[in-house]
Amino acid sequence: MISPLDRKLLRDLAKMKGQVVAVSLVMACGLAMMIMTRSLILTLESTRSTYYQQNAMADIFANLKRAPLSVAERISDLPGVAMVEPRVAVDVTLDLPGLTEPATGHIVSLPEDGGPQKLNRVFLRSGRFPRSDDRREVVLGETFANENGLSPGDSLVAIINGHRETLSICGIGLSPEFVFEARAGETLPDHKRFSVIWMNYRALAVAYNLDGAFNDVCVDLSPGAKAEPVIEEMDRLLTPYGAGGAYMRKEQASAQRLDDELRVLHSLSVLYPLVFLSVAAFMVNAVLARIVRLQREQIAQMKALGYSSWQVGFHYLKFVLVIGILGTIIGGFGGRVLGEKFVDMYKTFFRFPNLLFQMDYSALAIALLISMGASAVGVLSVVWQAVKLPPAEAMRPEPPADFKPSFFEKIGLTRFFSPTFRMALRNIERRPWQAVFTGGGLMLATGLMVLPGAMSDSIDYLLTYQWNSVQRQDVSVFLTEPTSSQGFHSLEHLPGVTHAEQVRSVPARLKYAQYERKLSVTGISRDCTLNRLLDESGKPILMPDEGLVMSKKLAEVIGADIGDEVEIEVLEGRRPTLLVPIRGLVTDYAGVAAYMDLTALHRLMKEGDTVNGAYLSVDQKHWDEFMRELKDTPRAGFVMVKRDQLAAFRKTTGEMIGMISGLYLMLAIIVAFGVVYNSARIALSERSRELATLRVVGFRLSEVRGILISELSMIVLSAIPVGLVFGRGLALFIMSSFSTETVRMPIVIKSSTYSLAVIVVLAAAVISFTLVSRMLGKLDMVGVLKARD
């Protein structure tokens, strides 16, 4: 049995259903974002934790040149080490019949004794592991197999240490080590052209002259053991074997990408909901304040009939509860739908045995509490003021609202203002917070509209910059081993090559003050025209004879600037160490890099004209022929084809950005519409007497409509420019939260993005105004005027 008060509540709510929906939707936007992000965090964290645990993800990783297996035993004796897995890991070129360009395979060996892996255990999706004595059988990475339509029983050709080998696929698998599966140094996955492959140790080790040795090792720590001392000891043991330094799980490429994603989600899970919920709380407050003022007499009557202040107060709080519950239901549902879509998208980037969306129900409960709490706090004072009035006083009409001349009038601008303009100004000044929050909501909507445009503008810029200005080569080829210029000439003379430039890169440790970074120092010739180094203004940097040119980001991270001297310790060959000054800073957006003049690098390495890669421009007419021959080039370790990178980028990141843009667009429209509609509706209700008076004294409907919207228009028009600035700030914040040392986003916002934001917000405002204007047309002039306020 519904009590009479609840019946009143339901009918009152039905009468203001437009506003209830508008407020609930804005609230739902915040809650949906919160529930989505919290659930994605839960999904990723719990799936990751189960996967890492069940498949024994290692704690420490190291790559080296070659060390006998006995060294691995010495590592296992180190205090704090629970398990060691020595392996052979190499990059090979794959030749797939359906693919013109070569693909890259990262082959990791399975344990030498043929037993199960101790660490980074492969999760077998289908098929089986290679037979212990088999030299050709491999387990192929799942995404590559899917993309290229390969399954157990099929075969593929790999160039293993210069020899074409036909490998037979016996299983399809994935590993916790490669949740994010991309070539070393690549920021995006290219599942069609890159795969991790697992094969028996012996087959691989023999091919690379590593039998009885290893060039890659993973370590599991004992419970409670600290990583740093183990790393220190490992470095001491492995440095003589060409190790570049062991690193922790959090520095491992795949794990790092997952961490980055979680970090972004964590920051989004707080900031966004907070902003949306503040706007929603204000809207609830404004709506309820109006109801309470309108129902002043009813409140008095309820109290006169014997209802206690608590009962009456609680009755009005129920309005908030209903809106909050409605918002939570819509937000929960929306959060779930969005979350599921994001999980589907994550599957493109992150490979888990089973990535299933998990709803964070605690977030739902928290969301409900927060939304109710925020709204209730906002309305408590309104309700309290209403219930504390003695009934007799409440039944008397409220005195006219107190106004005073606005600031602009006080400074002598009165004569420029029409009476209606003065009304609007004074109304805004009388309730500045209402104007501030309405403006704030619109600012938020405008800003949200700027964000997706800014993202696609920045990506467009990035693509043009990276693929037209910087990377002008069609293909970059990296050789499996450094070679003399003879190796370069064989690439230079491939069919269709119109221009070729030499590349020599060496792994190095860069030290400056307390900072230390491992990276590649790339030597390029002074007159290079293909892979260009551009400074902040987009001008090519002329490679100095001596000294280093490095990523601006790297300089920022280590706190160095042009002119400062950094120490370079080469981690290859004779391992020379050199102090070099920084001569230039490159604006680049992926990874961090350091460059030297090719000759200077050769001098440093005390080597002849050694190269380990080339940048090539290829005549498109000879493309297929070029690719066919490149596939057969034994030393070509890994090949990056510009147009494939571009396609992969569009497919993965483009899709993600598209989805995020759609989401923000939807949120922006809801907020813009919700805020303007709610404010206009409240203005109509609060000022119905004024507006009816104007109609009665002879103002046309259009004139009265103008007065109704003039105040809101002022707020809309002043909020939009602030919103554009806010949008820029938001884009900066969001995009820099995406930016890491591995990927950065240039921040570029075109004027068309700003224009679109303005148009959408104005359109939402116009639609809201139109809806409210229609109600104005139906206003019962006489009824309103004869009623007591």
Partner 1 sequence: MNAATPPPPISTGVVFEARKVRKVYQTGEVDVVALHGVDLSLNAGELVCLLGASGSGKSTLLNILGGLDVPTSGELIYKGWNLDGAEENTLTLFRRNCVGFVFQFYNLIPSLTARENVALITSISRNPMTPEEALELVGLGARMDHFPSQLSGGEQQRVAIARAIAKRPEVLLCDEPTGALDVTTGITVLEAVERINRELGTLTVIITHNAVMSEMADRVLHLSDGKIVDSTRNEVRLPASGLKW
Structure tokens at 195: 């795969």
Rounded to whole angstroms, the Cα distance separating 253 from 250 reads 8
- The answer to the question of residue 433 lying near partner 1 (CB under 8 A) is no
**In degrees, to the nearest 5, what angle opens at C-alpha 749 toward C-alphas 743 and 752?**
140
Q: What is the DSSP string of 401-470?
A: PP----HHIIIIIGGGS-HHHHHHHHHHHHSHHHHHHHHHHHHHHHHHHHHHHHHHHHHHHHHHIIIIII
Instruction: Mark the segment that binds partner 1 (CB under 8 A) among 81-89, 101-109, 113-121, 687-695.
Output: 687-695
Give the total residue count for the chain: 789
Nearer to partner 1, 306 or 400 (CB): 400
User: Whose Cβ is closer to partner 1: residue 295's or residue 371's?
Assistant: 295
Using CB under 8 A, which of the segments 230-238, 493-501, 688-696, 741-749 binds partner 1?
Answer: 688-696
Q: How far is the CB of 304 from partner 1 (least distance, A)?
A: 21
Measured from the CB atom, is 104 or 434 closer to partner 1?
434
- Of 690, 713, 742, 756, the one binding partner 1 by CB under 8 A: 690
Q: Minimum CB separation from partner 1 for residue 405, in Å?
A: 8
Q: 121 phi and psi, to 5 degrees?
A: -65, 135
Based on its alpha-carbon atoms, the radius of gyration of the chain, rounded to whole angstroms, reads 33
Q: Which is nearer to partner 1, 351 or 426 (CB)?
A: 426
Among the listed ranges 236-244, 605-613, 656-664, 686-694, the one in contact with partner 1 (CB under 8 A) is 686-694
Of 400 and 412, nearer to partner 1 (C-beta) is 400
**Residue with Cβ nearer partner 1 (467 or 699):** 699
Binding to partner 1 in span 724-783, by CB under 8 A: 781-782
Using the rule CB under 8 A, give the single segment among 49-57, 62-70, 398-406, 744-752 that binds partner 1: 398-406
Q: Which of 115, 163, 697, 751 binds partner 1 (CB under 8 A)?
A: 697
Per-residue contact string for residues 598-627; x = within reach of partner 1 by CB under 8 A: ------------------------------
Q: Which strands make up the sheet holding 247-248, listed edge to edge?
A: 81-87, 213-221, 60-68, 247-248
Whether 761 and 672 have beta carbons less than 8 Å apart is answered as yes
If one asks whether residue 536 binds partner 1 (CB under 8 A), the answer comes out as: no
Closer to partner 1 by CB, 421 or 738: give it.
421
According to DSSP, the residues that pair with 126 across neighbouring strands are 172
**2 vs 697, beta carbon nearer partner 1:** 697
- 693 contacts partner 1 (rule: CB under 8 A): yes
Told to check if 11 binds partner 1 by CB under 8 A, we report no
Give the C-alpha separation, 777 to 781, whole Å: 10
Nearer to partner 1, 25 or 708 (CB): 708
Q: Which is nearer to partner 1, 57 or 694 (CB)?
A: 694
C-beta closer to partner 1: residue 70 or 418: 418
> Does residue 462 contact residue 745 with C-beta atoms inside 8 Å?
yes
- State how far the Cα of 404 lies from the Cα of 409, in Å rounded to an integer: 10
Which of the residues 703 through 732 are near partner 1 (CB under 8 A)?
A: 703
Among the residues of 295-308, which ranges form H helices? 296-304
Candidates 74, 422, 518, 622; binder of partner 1 (CB under 8 A) is 422
Complex with partner 1: residue 116 or 397, whichever CB lies closer? 397
Which residues, 6 or more positions from 486, have their beta carbon under 8 angstroms from its beta carbon?
none
Interaction of residue 96 with partner 1, rule CB under 8 A: no
Residue from 115, 399, 563, 608 in contact with partner 1 (CB under 8 A)? 399
- Give the DSSP per-residue string, 316-385: HHHHHHHHHHHHHHHHHHHHHHHHHHHHHHHHHHB--S-------HHHHHHHHHHHHHHHHHHHHHHHHH
Q: Which of 125, 183, 290, 695 binds partner 1 (CB under 8 A)?
A: 695
Among 539, 643, 700, 774, binds partner 1 (CB under 8 A): 700
Residues 6+ apart with CB under 8 A from 46: 358
> Count of residues binding partner 1 (CB under 8 A)?
35
DSSP E strands in 513-541: the ranges are: 515-524
Per the DSSP assignment, residues forming a β-bridge with 214 are: 67
Closer to partner 1 at the Cβ: 382 or 692?
692
State the minimum distance, in angstroms, from the CB of residue 10 to partner 1: 21
Q: How far is CA 429 from the centre of its chain?
A: 40
Q: Which is nearest to 312 in space by CA: 400, 388, 212?
A: 388
Interface region with partner 1, contact rule CB under 8 A, candidates 251-259, 295-303, 418-426, 583-591: 418-426
Which residue in this structure is represented by tokens 């255990």? 121
Instruction: Give the residue, chosen from 314, 408, 699, 738, that forms a contact with partner 1 under the rule CB under 8 A.
Output: 699
Of the two residues 397 and 540, which places its CB atom closer to partner 1 in the complex? 397
Q: Is 698 in the site for partner 1 (CB under 8 A)?
A: yes
Minimum CB distance to partner 1, residue 422 (Å): 6
Site string for partner 1, 355-394 (x = CB under 8 A): ----------------------------------------
Question: In whole angstroms, how far apart are CA 611 and each of 18, 482, 488, 492?
Answer: 70, 6, 7, 12
Q: What tokens appear for 376 in the block?
A: 């209730």
Q: Which stretch binds partner 1 (CB under 8 A): 153-161, 247-255, 322-330, 694-702?
A: 694-702
Our finding on whether 682 is near partner 1 (CB under 8 A) is no
Asked if 432 is part of the footprint of partner 1 (rule: CB under 8 A), the reply reads: no
Q: How far is the CB of 754 from partner 1 (least distance, A)?
A: 34
Residue 610 near residue 481, CB atoms below 8 Å: no
- Please, what is the minimum distance in Å from the beta carbon of residue 681 to partner 1? 19
CA angle 26, 683, 303 (to 5 degrees): 90
Task: Please enumerate, as own/partner, the contacts of 536-541 that have beta carbons within 8 Å and a separation of 24 or more.
Answer: 536/585, 536/587, 538/465, 538/469, 538/587, 541/584, 541/586
CB of 423 to partner 1, least distance (A): 5
Binding status of residue 413 toward partner 1 by CB under 8 A: no
327 and 719 in contact (C-beta within 8 Å)?
no
Which residues of the chain form contacts with partner 1 (CB under 8 A)? 397, 399-404, 418-420, 422-423, 426-427, 430, 689-690, 692-701, 703, 781-782, 785-789
